[in-house]
Amino acid sequence: MSERIFLASTNEGKRAEFAALLAEHGIELGPSIPYPEVEEDADDYLGNAALKAAALREELLRRGTPATLFADDSGLEIDALAGAPGVRSARYGGLDLAWPQRRAHLLAALSDVPGRRRTARFFCALLAIDEGGRRFEGFGATRGSIALVERGTAGFGYDPLFLPEGETRTFAEMSAAEKARSSHRARALRALVEAMRR
């Protein structure tokens, strides 16, 4: 596989996390390439990743620079909310909410749920397309629970609320290296790289 790969995302927190994870595999993350925004309206994570990957691939081909690329879609699934917010995690509570408001909306939805019932998992689906158009997939999940209040300032998204199984700290209270040991993205990326290098 190419030792340089492009990511279909403008989320700087996600880009930084993937850059560090890719470096562990000896792969460089290419610069951000603007591509037409897509509506992430697929029924599952892989479908949304495919929409973003296709949009970035079309832009790279339009520029005459075919390259290996990948996209992800991930979400937080909470058992007490029947798996919500799930595939709609980045839009939970409404498109107009900033992340602090989105996390507050989630905590409000769980206000009557005791700690022992706040079990959850983060799930990530990755889809890569190489220069020849071949597709590869990788999936990863991390079980845990939702904290009663936000804790920590690192990470992004729901990280200040998520306590991975066996941990007393949220993802947002961990260093990037500590988070990578158990994160859903790290697990999905390992599976993706293995698939592409077979």
CA–CA separation, 128 vs 118, rounded Å?
A: 33
Is-catalytic flag, 73?
yes
Q: Confidence band (pLDDT; 50, 70, 90) for 2? A: low
Cβ neighbours of residue 55 closer than 8 Å, sequence gap 6 or more:
8, 35, 36, 37, 38
Domains of the chain: 4-197 (3.90.950.10)
Report the 10 Å Cβ neighbour count for 133: 9
Question: Are 97 and 109 spatial neighbours (Cβ–Cβ below 8 Å)?
Answer: no
Among 44, 73, 96, 112, the active-site one is 73
Please give the model's pTM, rounded to 2 decimal places.
0.92
Residue 149's CB is within 10 A of a number of other CB atoms, namely: 9
Chain segment 61-75, per-residue pLDDT in tens: 999 988 999 999 999
- Please list, in sequence order, all residues whose beta carbon lies within 8 angstroms of the beta carbon of residue 24, skipping any fewer than 6 positions away: 180
Contact 179, 163 (CB under 8 A): no
User: How confident is residue 1, by pLDDT bands cut at 50, 70 and 90?
Assistant: low
